[in-house]
Chain A
Amino acid sequence: DGGITQSPKYLFRKEGQNVTLSCEQNLNHDAMYWYRQDPGQGLRLIYYSQIVNDFQKGDIAEGYSVSREKKESFPLTVTSAQKNPTAFYLCASSPKRQGEHEQYFGPGTRLTVT
């Protein structure tokens, strides 16, 4: 089955701890993305990657870091510097970065930091 997996579905952390969210795809897509959703808001772009070992900041990258060591994997680390980390995080991929390709989304991870 081709698709995108994110784990875990729910994640709880104490304030001050870094936490890494997993995103894996077996669609052979070049581009991968991380979004954050807060209540009443749309999807806001955190980071994206067009190719292995390359990534760009999105609109709200502060307090987050990513890596793209393998084509199929794009983990997101929420650092202690992120002021409001509690949110729903969605990972997506597309064949290329250019906008004519639809994005395929994972099931999301809900992170709660207390």
Chain B
Amino acid sequence: ILNVEQSPQSLHVQEGDSTNFTCSFPSSNFYALHWYRWETAKSPEALFVMTLNGDEKKKGRISATLNTKEGYSYLYIKGSQPEDSATYLCAFGTGRRALTFGSGTRLQVQP
């Protein structure tokens, strides 16, 4: 079983704060790294799929970076809003099997 770790486990921030989370994954046999947002009572939705070392992706106030050599990815949220409250999951793919998910970072943004 591959080890994908996310930190912190949970985070409480104030509206307007910027925040970031970490996803650590094995640095060997890398194929892709996914980020998903999972809001309460909804299905997880993909934010980013990254495949190249040094990749940076951005969607509105959310961005992600990827370092495959050292096995980590950062997700950044600039100016957090209450609607950003969700669990953020990362998932690591080797290309030989299905994705392995981390346990997620639960973000609460207080108005």
Contact among A35, A59, A103 with B46 in the assembled complex (CB-CB below 8 Å): A103
B32-68 contacts to A (CB < 8 Å): 32, 34, 36, 42-46, 49, 51
**Contact assessment for B95 and A98 in the assembled complex, using a CB-CB cutoff below 8 Å:** yes
A101 lies within 8 A of B49 (CB) = yes
Q: Given contacts A4-B43, A42-B89, could you give 13 more A-B pairs where the C-beta distance is less than 8 Å?
A: A40-B103, A42-B6, A42-B103, A48-B98, A56-B98, A59-B100, A99-B92, A99-B95, A102-B34, A102-B49, A103-B44, A103-B91, A103-B99
A4 to chain B: which residues have CB within 8 Å?
43
| Interface residues of B, count at CB 8 A | 28
How many A residues face the partner with a CB closer than 8 A? 27
Q: Which residues of B contact A90 (CB under 8 A)?
A: 43-44
- Say yes or no: is B101 at the interface (Cβ < 8 Å to chain A): yes
Given known A40-B103, A101-B49, A105-B44, contact A45–B98 (CB-CB < 8 A): yes
Q: Which residues of B line the A interface, CB within 8 A?
A: 1, 4, 6, 31-32, 34, 36, 42-46, 49, 51, 89, 91-95, 97-104
